[in-house]
Each structure stands twice: as C-alpha cells, then as structure tokens.
Structure 1
C-alpha cells in the first residue's frame, strides 16, 4: 500500500464525507483546548523577540469544520493574553496534509472563516495569511526556524507506511491472518513490526519539527493512546477487530477472497505514554510540559440508542479508512461492509461501552 498516495479522509460534504462525520475528532479538540490555551500563553510570555509575525502549522488538517477550529482557538488564546497585541501583528497559518487531501473544500470555506474572525475579534486582530503545505510530516515541510506553534490532532497514529514485511501481498504465508491490524491473535513479529515503524516515524517527526520551530516555540500533539504496555489490548484493538470480523463474514459468503483480508494491514499505531516519553527523551530537542490521558466514548459520548451509536461509529470509521479499503478491495463492497460493521458495533455497545484513550502532549523546544 502506497500510504502517501492513498490515505486521505473522505472528500467533499456528502453523507459519507469526513466533513459530515468528524464529531469524534471535534470532541478531542474540545477536550484538549485548555492544554492548547496554556501552550499559547507560555509561548506569548516567553523571551521570544516580538518579531511581528507568528508562524502556526496544523499538521494533518484534513477538511471540514474542524480544520479552522484550532486556528480559532489559538486566536482566542492570544486575545486572552495581554501581551499578545504587542508581540504579533500578522499570522502565517500553514495547513498541512498529504497530497490527496481535499484542499479545495478547505479553501472554499476560507472566506467564511475570515468573516467569522472579523465579527468576533474586529479589525485590530492583525493580518492572516493562510496557505496549504502538502506532504508527509515524517520529514521536513517548512524552512528552518520559521514556526512558533505546531499542532497536530488525530493524525500521528497514521504511519508513513505499512510495517515492512506486512505489506508484501505475495508473501507465502500471511503473518496477520484474518486481521487488519494488531490483535490478540497476532504473532509477536507483527507487534514488533508495528512498534518499530512507529518509533522510526515519530523520531523523524520530532527531528523535523526541531529544525522548523524557533527556540522557545511550542508544540501540542493529540493522538490515540493506550494505558497498557501490551499493544494488543482490547481498548485500542477492538474497533479494528470488529471491522476485520465484518470483512470475514463477507469472506464466508464468498463476496471477497480471504487472501485479500490476509494481505491488508492498516498503517496505524496506538502508542503508550511511556513510548512517547522514551522517544522524546531519546531525540532530546523537546521538553515535556504536559502529557495528559483522557477517555472518550467510541461514539463521542452521544446520548443515542445503541443502533444509532453503531451507525455513527461506522460512518466515522468509514470517513477515515475508506480510501485505503477501497484501494485494496474495490468500491463495490463499501456500503455492505459498513452496514455489517455498524451492526457489530451496535451489538458490542449492547454489552459493553468500551472507551478509547487519547493522549495530549504539550512540549517546548529547548
């Protein structure tokens, strides 16, 4: 799987689009807002010279209503800090995602965002210059020492590639048979391959940002995490186990080939707090200000029936992974697959309300 070419959230504003099915990610942004506010205030109260222009990067911006939500939160935090008006008069905002991201929809909504800023903050806020920076954040994206604040939400769990050895469709023996990600049935070599790929990618991410952020700059990262040292713990695996189950029911009915399931593995990893700390300490450029963990319901905490919750989760997951599944299995199975998945999730909700863990990391460049 060529992740850089294939991975993108569902485009547009239709029923299965990410724009219409990203309430879960919005919930994460909302919960993490106090940590973002704190990081912005520390930046503005630091000894950074008042250069007049603030560089802000949102890595993995996707498209839809959440895209400009972070920028609005940063502006609110700046306005709440007394010294801000004398520090910055213009803002350079860089929206980053992979090349196949729906940047057209993002920029069509930009005039409405500008109007909202004017209504909320008036003409004295400063000038905004918003641009797209397509490319992988596992590598350099920006000029050296050009950024003051970097943010990424619900993106860093996506790896740069399927771990080596799992992406070989012609392998004589499937290493992760009947599954599409780490599971309790996965052999140790699968767990090790995923862990190795994450640490390699995250290390490169940190090194790249360390070159791009000015001294004293801040970075806030939000991503799924786990509380256990075991990467196959149900808290982070069960969603994908159910999707694999849905695929295997289609195998049993002759709708897709079993080999297709065996050769599909998500480029995805859920780290523990200890793994994040270890890599940060190893790379050495950033000091951890805060590392918080909070639980969130699969459906974002919506007070609806289990059937409606199952459908909501299925739509959320579909908006995120459909591009990869369609590339591997074809478009014809999508509606059937996610109907089955919604039913499996609803059945699970009728027995247990498993929660997901999310980590929020706030750091400063040394």
Structure 2
C-alpha cells in the first residue's frame, strides 16, 4: 500500500464525507485553541512581522480546514489592537496535505469563507492569501526560514508508511494488545523515524523564534491498544469467518497508525534539540467528540452515538480499506462495526487521549 496515494479523507460534501463527519476533529481544535492562540499572540508581540506565514499541516477538506487558520488570524488581530499597532500584518496561509486530498472542495468553498471572514473582521481588514501545498510533511515543504507559525491537529498519528516486518500481526490491523513484541517495536521505530524527520524539516523552515503547535492523538500509558481500530479488526475478522473476506487478505493488511505516549513525544522533541517546549498539556475527548458533564455522562447522548462514531471513522479510513479490500465489503463491515462500538460504549468510558504541545524554535 502506497500511503501517499490512498491516505486521504473521504472527499466532497456527501453523507460519508469527512466534511460532514468531522465534529470530533473540530472539537479537538477548539479544545487546543487557548494554547494555539497564546502561542501566536506571543509570536506576533515579540517578532512584529509585517507579514505572517502560517502553515496548517494535514488540513484535509471541509469546515475544519478554515477553522484553525481563521482562529489564528483573529488571535493576531486581537493582539494587534491590544498593543495599539496601527497596521495589520498580511497573512500568507499554506494549506498542506497529501496530493490525494480533496483540494478542489477547499478552494470551491474559499470565496464564501473569505466573504464571511471579511464581514466578521470589517472592511478595513484584508483577507488572508491562501495557497495549497501538496506533499508529505515527512519531508521538506517550504523554503528555509520562511514560516512563522506551524499548526497541525490530529494528523501526526498517521505514519509515512506501514512499518516493515508485520507478518506476525495476524488478525490485527494496527498495533494491538495481541500484537507480538516485534510488531510493536516496528510501529514505534517508524513513528520515531517519522516524527524526528518532521521536527528536523520544520526547524529548517521556521524562522528563529517561530512557533509550532501540534495536537497529537496519543495514549495514556504503555498499553498499545487503539481500541477503535481493534473493534474494526474484529468486524473484519467476522467477515473472514463467514467467508466474505479471505484470511490472507486480512493478514496482509495493516494501517499506518501509531498513537504515541506523552513520554515518547517529549523525548523525541528534546533529542532533536531544535525547539524549546513552551507548553505541554493532555486532554481526553469522547469518541463522538461530545463533552462530558460533571457526572462523566455525555452531553446530548442518544442512540445514534455509535452511528456517529462509525461514520466518523468511515470518513477517515474508507479510502484505505477500499484500496485493499475493494468496495464490496464496506457497507457490511461498517454495519457490524457500529454494533460493536455501541456495545463498547455501553460498558466503558470511550475516549481519545490527546496531547497539545507548543514549541518555539531556538
């Protein structure tokens, strides 16, 4: 599987599109917003650039594409007014994702976004300049010393490739509880290599004093379980048992996903040496993207919660599944998957662990 060709969210604006099934990712962005806002406010106050170059890495397509960068621009404008500076800086926004991303939908919706933004900010404010940058962020994307701010949310758990040496991971589709030790090590080594390259590339591209805020889906402890992916593996195994999928077909399938621990992320940043950690926080969010109330119940909980979770995962992983298994099993596997999610949600607290790390280039 060539990750660069198949790793993209469901495009368009249809029923199973990422654009219509990304509430979870939206709420992750909003939960990280105080840290992101503070990072870019302090950057603007300290560097006072006439133009600010911002890169959003792993932008995908849909409303979240503009949410993150719009929040950053507004944070700078609020800081400008607070500091009493007359002239707004110009904003150069780079939206990055793999070439297979649905950039067409992004730019078809850009005029409406710019009009809404102009109306909200006032006539005297010039709208940002937007550019698409297609390519893997596990490599150089921008000229040396050209960026002021890098943002990435819910993307760095995706690896540049499926690790080598996973032949013993039978019945699993990622690093799982039953995975052999060599499989877990292979996933860790791939993440280690990828994240180290990511940091080296961004340290070249950011100006001195430039900042980067990364929100990374991770895990609480050393337990390698990624529960939602394990449930999907169970659904696929059921299809194998019933003869709908060949066992060898499943055993040859693994996803390029790794959820790191907080210690792993911190260690790799410190080993790279190019950045100072300004802030590092952890938060949990329910699989649906909804908030907990004070009694640990889900606000707005209903019988459709499992359907929402399954459809959200489908918007993310369907292209990868289709590339390996074909389209014929998709409806059936997600029907079974939804039932498994509902059962899991009825028995345990189902949530993602996320890390927000704010870095400044030395």
The DSSP-based 3-state class of the residue aligned with 2:336 is helix
1:53-92 superposed matches below 5 A: 53-81=51-79, 82-83=82-83, 85-86=85-86, 88-92=88-92
1:305-344 superposed matches below 5 A: 307-344=303-340
Partner Cα separation in structure 1 for residue 299 and residue 242 of structure 2: 35
Q: CA deviation at 1:75?
A: 1.8
The DSSP-based 3-state class of the residue aligned with 1:141 is coil
After superposing on structure 2, the runs of 4+ consecutive aligned residues of structure 1 that deviate more than 6 Å are: none
Please list the CA deviations of residues 184-240 of structure 1 after superposition, one character each: whole Å capped at 9, or x if unmatched: 11000000000000010000000000010001111000111112133x24xxx2111
> What is the aligned counterpart of 1:52 among 19, 44, 50?
50
The DSSP-based 3-state class of the residue aligned with 1:332 is coil
> What is the aligned counterpart of 1:214 among 186, 207, 231?
207
Q: CA deviation at 1:304?
A: 4.8
Matched, 1:284 2:273: yes
Q: CA deviation at 1:273?
A: 1.0
1:126-145 superposed matches below 5 A: 126-145=126-145
Matched, 1:251 2:258: no
Match of 2:354 in 1: 358
Partner Cα separation in structure 1 for residue 345 and residue 327 of structure 2: 28
* Contact kept in structure 2, 1:293 and 1:359, CA below 8 Å: yes
> What is the aligned counterpart of 2:253 among 256, 264, 268?
264
Q: CA deviation at 1:86?
A: 4.9
Partner Cα separation in structure 1 for residue 85 and residue 332 of structure 2: 54
* Contact kept in structure 2, 1:57 and 1:147, CA below 8 Å: yes
Match of 2:173 in 1: 180
Partner Cα separation in structure 1 for residue 86 and residue 243 of structure 2: 67
Partner Cα separation in structure 1 for residue 189 and residue 252 of structure 2: 19
Partner Cα separation in structure 1 for residue 201 and residue 187 of structure 2: 21
1:184-199 superposed matches below 5 A: 184-199=177-192
* Contact kept in structure 2, 1:306 and 1:350, CA below 8 Å: no
Partner Cα separation in structure 2 for residue 21 and residue 226 of structure 1: 23
Match of 2:295 in 1: none
Aligned pair in 2 of structure 1 residues 11, 113: CA closer, same or farther (>3 Å)? same
* Contact kept in structure 2, 1:153 and 1:221, CA below 8 Å: yes
Larger deviation: 76-85 or 251-260?
Answer: 76-85
What are structure 2's unaligned runs of at least 5 residues? 291-297
* Contact kept in structure 2, 1:220 and 1:362, CA below 8 Å: yes
TM score, norm. by length of structure 1: 0.94
Larger deviation: 126-135 or 29-38?
Answer: 126-135
> What is the aligned counterpart of 2:221 among 216, 228, 232?
228
Partner Cα separation in structure 2 for residue 184 and residue 272 of structure 1: 15
1:22-171 superposed matches below 5 A: 22-46=22-46, 48=47, 50-81=48-79, 82-83=82-83, 85-86=85-86, 88-166=88-166
* Contact kept in structure 2, 1:29 and 1:70, CA below 8 Å: yes
Match of 2:16 in 1: 16
Aligned pair in 2 of structure 1 residues 175, 114: CA closer, same or farther (>3 Å)? same
Aligned pair in 2 of structure 1 residues 84, 355: CA closer, same or farther (>3 Å)? farther
The DSSP-based 3-state class of the residue aligned with 2:347 is coil
TM score, norm. by length of structure 2: 0.95
Q: CA deviation at 1:89?
A: 2.7
Aligned pair in 2 of structure 1 residues 43, 221: CA closer, same or farther (>3 Å)? same
Please list the CA deviations of residues 247-287 of structure 1 after superposition, one character each: whole Å capped at 9, or x if unmatched: 01111110011111111111011111111111111111110
Match of 2:230 in 1: 241
* Contact kept in structure 2, 1:7 and 1:324, CA below 8 Å: yes
Aligned pair in 2 of structure 1 residues 304, 216: CA closer, same or farther (>3 Å)? same
Aligned pair in 2 of structure 1 residues 84, 216: CA closer, same or farther (>3 Å)? farther
* Contact kept in structure 2, 1:89 and 1:127, CA below 8 Å: no
